Amino acid sequence: MLNPRQPHRGRMKKGIDPSLWVSLKPFGIGEEHPNNFAEISRALRENRDQAGFAWRILSQGVCDGCALGVAGLKDWTMDGPHLCNIRLRLLRLNTMPALDPALLTNVAALRKMRGAELRELGRLPYPMVRRRGDAGFHRIGWEEALTLVAGRIAAAGPGRAGFYLTSRGTPNETYYAAQKAVRAMGGNQIDNAARICHAPSSVALKSMLGVGATTCSYGDWIGTDLLVFVGANPANNQPVTTKYMYYAKRAGTRMVLVNTYREPGMERYWIPSVPESALFGTKLADDTFLINTGGDAAFLNGALKHILERNLLDHDFVAKHTTGLDEVRTAVADLAWQTLEEQAGGSEAEMRAFGQMVGEAKTAVFVWSMGATQHIFGEDNVRAIINLGLTRGFVGRDRCGLMPIRGHSGVQGGAEMGAYATAFPGGLPINPENAAALGDAWGFPVSAQVGRTAPEMIDAAHAGELDVLFSTGGNFLEALPDPPYVDAALGRVPLRVHQDIVLSSQMLVEPAETVVLLPATTRYEVPGGVTQTSTERRIMFGPEIDGRRIGEARPEWEVYLDLARRVRPELRDRLTVAGTQALREEIAKVVPMYDGIQTLRQTGDEVQYGGPHLCAGWNFPTADGKAHFIPVPLPAVEVPAGMFAVATRRGKQFNTMVQAERDAITGAGRDAVLMNPEDAAALGLRDGDPITLRNETGAFAGRVFLAPVKSRNLQVHWPEGNVLLAHGRRSPASDVPDYNAFVQVEPDRPAGTAAEAAD
């Protein structure tokens, strides 16, 4: 009998399937892949002083890693345990003791430390302050700290104060309280990490389908005819998805990758909690189409051109439920195959083959991530994916969907709670009508002026136009392009406030006047518990968990409202909230799609807003009730002669937190420059040779790492590769930075040895 909560289970074959095995070598001995059993043993070692607390976090908490979503060790897609090495590596951040505040009295030594070393010093226990000329920080009380910060915010006025929240571990309640507090203090100058990953997805989905999030659930992957990943590497970034992929394969799904690099983890994986896969591995991708960095729109347009030429549309769906196909048909007909091939980096035959797969599928799910979005034309890449999905009505029904997969636990909720410079709670546009309605709900006026996005805050800081920068978690210095520019910008802000659980490099930038550190609790320490929203729109409850508590750390939501009450004492009553349950009750009223959040009480409690499918029954919440095809022009991507396109990628890391020097999936070190073997040979380079990538922004010293990357394309790790990225290159519609660049490759070896190396 089918489980009504997991209807896809009935699609999977029983028993084992040797045709999917990678090899007969047990546990993939000798193959490059993560050793998850070693990760468990490492986590046991690291957390042995707090073993009980660590176990309670794993068994009762909602994971603070990626946005796949799990409560305790169970998810809503599959039976069996849900746990991965990202979560295990993050665990120590939640159980570690406080650092010794004396370490901060002189930051000179700290500035030489890497991010991992700073984190390992321990949790921030007390508010601390450093003034210009001080060698380091000294302890102050909360009262003094908040009086100082509130006074400066009040003096600055809303236009000269900026607020930013990270996505790591940040729950819905914090985002909601923060944006309400910032809006009470005046203006909409608040942004969060969702800006720099999936803002283009929200823009494109909203304009074409009327929704701003994934239309489907993970369960739709299993048994769909076609599962397509564009610019996404969930095997690394959301490791438990490999289990969903395994079950999809067992249910007969064809898995296809469109990417610049043949990601090894997406082609085969050893899934530790599936005995057959743990022993012999599982072949995942059936087809990989290698394309140029920035070639997505061309490749997808080529596939669309084939579908239109061969008349593979679902005519009934298109006629009844969409508009705009005629314009798209005209635009695509005008695109010459030669132009598409040059831009895409794929051949006409490959584009036609992919188009044929899409055209023949009865069901399909398209999943994409930052390989598609983090370009100045990120919205167009997403629009091209949606156009393809609409050709056959792959939305709003079982085993179909359009899914921007999120990398970090907070990002889905961050935007939906309104911690956004460009949107109110619920993703509503910032305009006078919505501002007035929000003002009525809260009992104070709300500005109808769009605020500065996170990159714009840094620009303002650089220009000397920001007096206060309040950052909850995150690390601008490592997350954004062009670190010297960001460093200079941070150093010009008179008051910087860093609210966090551990030290980060941005805290150590010399103060223009004052830097304040505020110690935060983790999500597991918040009285009353908190919620998080997963990629599949599931709002999950995580309770407060008994265990170690750190000094004077306070929940972030509480501090935001405390600050706002100090800045606007006349609003004291309206900015006083009893606790997180009261916040959830308010969220349910202000963000109606989150109704149900107020009923969540214990681990496993959840509500999936919108249900398993948005646009179910092909009802689109657009003005005309239809889905909209939109023509996608080809972006102007032309790699200058003699140069390469370089993209940044994740290795063994979470967010900017590098967790290992070597990526166990690819085998690449942090200084690796992934390069096509033929390109390397043409330059006389061998695996491991030192090289420098250089452009007008900066230089990156690395080593050749031969890999199946599309020719004339390179990949380097982020954030190290940020030195090559121009700070001003951002998409005009959503202000997402472009995490790609053009570079020259300079061999770092004495002249005259190239010929020998090439022999």
The residues of the shown chain that bind ligand SF4, judged by CB under 6 A, are 63, 65-66, 68-70, 82-84, 86-87, 238-240
Find the shortest distance in angstroms from Cβ 261 to ligand SF4: 21
Would you say 123 and 99 are in contact if contact means Cβ atoms under 8 Å apart?
Answer: yes
Q: Between residues 107 and 255, which has the closer beta carbon with respect to ligand SF4?
A: 255
Task: Report in angstroms how near the CB of residue 281 gets to ligand SF4 at its nearest.
Answer: 19
Tell me the two tokens of residue 697. 């922004």
Tell the smallest beta-carbon distance from residue 62 to ligand SF4 (Å).
8
Pairing of strands 128-131, 138-139: antiparallel
Residue whose CB is less far from ligand SF4, 192 or 534: 534
* Residue with nearest beta carbon to ligand SF4: 65
The Cα–Cα gap between 153 and 621 comes to 39
Q: Specify the residue, 82 or 492, whose C-beta has the smaller distance to ligand SF4.
A: 82
Q: Are 606 and 538 in contact (CB under 8 A)?
A: yes
Residue 538 C-beta: closest distance to ligand SF4, Å: 11
Query: CA 610, 613, 615: angle at the middle one, nearest 5?
Result: 85
Q: How far is the CB of 325 from ligand SF4 (least distance, A)?
A: 37
Terminal Cα distance for the chain, rounded: 64
Question: CA–CA distance from 670 to each of 558, 660, 667, 758 (Å)?
Answer: 38, 9, 10, 25
Cα–Cα distances in Å, from 110 out to 477, 487, 504, 509, 619? 15, 16, 10, 11, 56
Q: Could you tell me the smallest distance in angstroms from the CB atom of residue 78 to ligand SF4?
A: 11
Q: Burial code of 445-463, b = ≥16 C-beta within 10 A, e = fewer?
A: ebbbebbbbbbbbbbbbbe
CB of 73 to ligand SF4, least distance (A): 9
Q: How far is the CB of 190 from ligand SF4 (least distance, A)?
A: 26
Tokens of 126: 């007390």
Query: Could you tell me the sign of the dihedral formed by the alpha carbons of 718, 724, 725, 728, in that order?
Result: positive
Residue 85 or 471 having the CB closest to ligand SF4: 85
List the beta strands (DSSP E) in 8-100: none
Nearer CB in complex with ligand SF4: 147/273: 273
Nearest CA among 558, 198, 577 for reference residue 413: 198
Q: Phi first, then psi: give them for residue 71, nearest 5 degrees.
A: -110, 125
Three-class SS string for 231-289?
CCCHHHHCCCHHHHHHHHHHCCCEEEEEECECCHHHHEECCCCCHHHHHHCEECCCEEE
Q: 725, 744, 752: which is closest to 736 by C-alpha?
A: 725
Question: Rounded to the nearest whole angstrom, what is the least distance from the CB of residue 406 to ligand SF4 in the complex?
Answer: 10
- Helix axis angle, 580-590 relative to 172-185, nearest 10°? 70
Nearest distance in Å: CB 12, ligand SF4: 20
Side-chain-facing half-sphere of 616: CA atoms under 13 Å: 9
| Nearer CB in complex with ligand SF4: 84/365 | 84
Question: By C-beta, is 64 or 482 nearer to ligand SF4?
Answer: 64
Residues 6+ apart with CB under 8 A from 86: 65, 66, 239, 654, 659
Provide the b/e sequence for 404-436 (b: ≥16 CB within 10 Å). bbbbbbbbbbbbbbbbbbbbbbbbeebeeebbe
In the bound complex, what is the minimum distance in angstroms from residue 573's beta carbon to ligand SF4? 38
Contact 495, 513 (CB under 8 A): yes
Question: Cis bond leading into 708, ω under 30°?
Answer: no
Q: In this structure, what is the dihedral angle of CA atoms 593, 598, 602, 607, given to the nearest 10 degrees?
A: -20
Complex with ligand SF4: residue 387 or 655, whichever CB lies closer = 655
Of the pair 5, 589, the CB lying nearest ligand SF4 is at 5
CB closer to ligand SF4, 70 vs 516 = 70
Minimum distance from CB of 66 to ligand SF4 (Å)? 3
**Between residues 176 and 244, which has the closer beta carbon with respect to ligand SF4?**
244
Q: Which is nearer to ligand SF4, 374 or 534 (CB)?
A: 534
